[in-house]
Amino acid sequence: MRVAVVGLGHIGLPTALLLAKRHEVVGVDVDESLVATLNDGELPLDEPGLDSLYDEVNDKFTAATDPEPADAYVITVPTPLDQRENVADLGFVRAAVESVADVVSSGELVVLESTVPPGTSERLVQPILADAAADVRYAHCPERAIPERTLDEMTGNDRVVGTDERAAETIRDLYAFTDGELHLTDPTTAEFVKLAENTSRDVGIALANEFATLAEGIGVDAHEAIDIANEHPRVDILNPGPGVGGHCITTDPWFLTGADAQARLVPLARDINDGMPDHVLGLVRKQVAHVRRPRVAVLGVAYKGNVSDTRETPAGRFIRRAENDGYDVRVHDPHVESYDEPLVDRETALDGADCAVVITDHDAFRDLAPADFDGMRTRTVVDSRNILAHDTLREAGISVSVLGD
Ligand code: SAJ
């Protein structure tokens, strides 16, 4: 089969290369320099296993700036959140579908993998395709892979496929690279499923964060309490932290609720999670209450541990608020090469600092020893991820404050 994959980002490029194991694939992107880079044999994305996959399928993959006629088209473009209205910006999806509509013919298959609000397939995508050619097969098959484990998840996870029986056989052939099960349903349910998954995670994290702030007031250790509660066979509480980052979980709950005033829990969970950087700043404030212009070392700007991705990171909000409060902020992240703020090495970040605040749960921070904090002006630490060796640090005279304790 010949397949065109439209949108070559974090999801599209790995998907295109996996498809190229069995099919002839043209990867399409509006970014001319990305297309040139790929056609020069270079990979612009760092994902475990992607390099060797690229070498393996190189002769079956080409890149282009416009869709070419194919048997199947897979659309993997971003759906950003329109921050003013808290609604999905479907501009990229519309443009991608229209570009496919220019070349699609009867009987061919179009798959939308981008995450979209319920009703988008029926109301926006399918009408454009129906105008382009009679009997275009359609499926909404949202991606659900996690960064830095993208290939493992794409080849191992189940998939939800919103389609009808006419497309099912081609879909099975297309996604033959996955060992996961294909769950067939209608497109609107598939849209809902994807958003429900990420919303459930957001609400779960908000509950853990609420437990953390309540425990601080009561005077118990939320982490110990959660560990014990999780021994119960029907309880599975997530980990509190400095808030939720990443492109998906921060936006998908809004895609689900839209403007529906009946939604109460979901916006509240968003609000709780968005408030966590401020809460962490409050813990820092207590540590440096005696200092006039405190210097704060931020350890970690990636949105979660051991990744280099900083999209929607809670560190961003923390840094902005701290700077607004007149703090002198220095930022270090061993996984991130560039960020809105200048990044420095760990020693420079800690040198002369009054408080070190752990924002990201990178493994590299777990073994920090008392001596690592020697260069600080005032040796105080805020651990928003509960990952440091608190007893060892306290025994060495370091003042340690832990979110949720
Ligand atoms: N976090 C916590 N406490 C936890 C778990 C996570 O504070 O107990 C924070 C993380 O630090 C991070 C954020 O939540 O800032 C989100 O991280 P994550 O690992 O929960 O999820 P993502 O955003 O990396 O990927 C999610 C995944 N969805 C689910 O697990 C339901 C992934 O499978 C999806 O493919 C992805 O969103 C997506 O693309 O939609």
Q: For position 149, which CATH number holds?
A: 3.40.50.720
Distance 96 CA to ligand 1 centre (A): 27
pLDDT level of residue 299 (50, 70, 90 thresholds): very high
Domain annotation covers residue 214: yes
Does the CB atom of residue 238 touch ligand 1 within 6 A?
yes
CA dihedral over 34, 35, 41, 45, signed as positive or negative: positive
Residue that terminates a domain, selected from 185, 218, 236:
185
Does the CB atom of residue 277 touch ligand 1 within 6 A?
no
pLDDT of the residue at 195 = 98
Distance 118 CA to ligand 1 centre (A): 21
Let me know whether 13 and 156 are in one domain: yes
pLDDT of the residue at 283 = 98
Stated pTM of the model? 0.95
Domain annotation covers residue 388: no
Residue that terminates a domain, selected from 134, 158, 185:
185
For 197-252, write each residue's pLDDT tens digit: 999 999 999 999 999 999 999 999 999 999 999 999 999 999 999 999 998 999 99
Residue 85: is its pLDDT beyond 90?
no
Distance 32 CA to ligand 1 centre (A): 31
Let me know whether 32 and 178 are in one domain: yes
SS3 219: coil
Does the CB atom of residue 245 touch ligand 1 within 6 A?
yes
pLDDT of the residue at 84 = 84
Let me know whether 180 and 222 are in one domain: no
* Active-site annotation, residues: 194, 248
Domain annotation covers residue 367: no
Does the CB atom of residue 304 touch ligand 1 within 6 A?
yes
200 CA closest ligand 1 atom index: 31
Let me know whether 119 and 220 are in one domain: no
Query: If you take atom 10 of ligand 1, which residue's CA is the nearest one?
Result: 304
d(CA 72, CA 57): 18
Let me know whether 150 and 231 are in one domain: no
In the chain, what percentage of residues exceed pLDDT 70? 100
Let me know whether 226 and 152 are in one domain: no
238 CA closest ligand 1 atom index: 8
pLDDT of the residue at 323 = 97
Domain annotation covers residue 369: no
d(CA 256, CA 263): 9
Does the CB atom of residue 246 touch ligand 1 within 6 A?
yes
Instruction: Indicate the number of domains in the chain.
Output: 2
Let me know whether 129 and 223 are in one domain: no
Let me know whether 82 and 181 are in one domain: yes
Let me know whether 159 and 128 are in one domain: yes
Which residue range forms the structural domain that includes residue 220?
A: 194-274
Domain annotation covers residue 90: yes
227-240 per-residue burial string, b: 16 or more CB within 10 A, e: under 16? eeeeeeeeeebbbb
Domain annotation covers residue 377: no
d(CA 327, CA 117): 40
Residue that terminates a domain, selected from 168, 185, 202:
185
Does the CB atom of residue 220 touch ligand 1 within 6 A?
no
Pocket test for ligand 1, best of 114, 203, 276, 304 (most atoms within 8 A of CB): 304
Amino acid identity at 155: T
Does the CB atom of residue 379 touch ligand 1 within 6 A?
no
pLDDT of the residue at 285 = 97
Residue 46: is its pLDDT beyond 90?
no
- The answer to whether 35 touches 102, Cβ cutoff 8 Å, is no
Let me know whether 31 and 171 are in one domain: yes
CATH of the domain at 217: 1.10.1040.10
Let me know whether 125 and 230 are in one domain: no
Distance 90 CA to ligand 1 centre (A): 22
Query: If you take atom 40 of ligand 1, which residue's CA is the nearest one?
Result: 248
Distance 379 CA to ligand 1 centre (A): 32
Residue 147: is its pLDDT beyond 90?
no
Let me know whether 38 and 105 are in one domain: yes
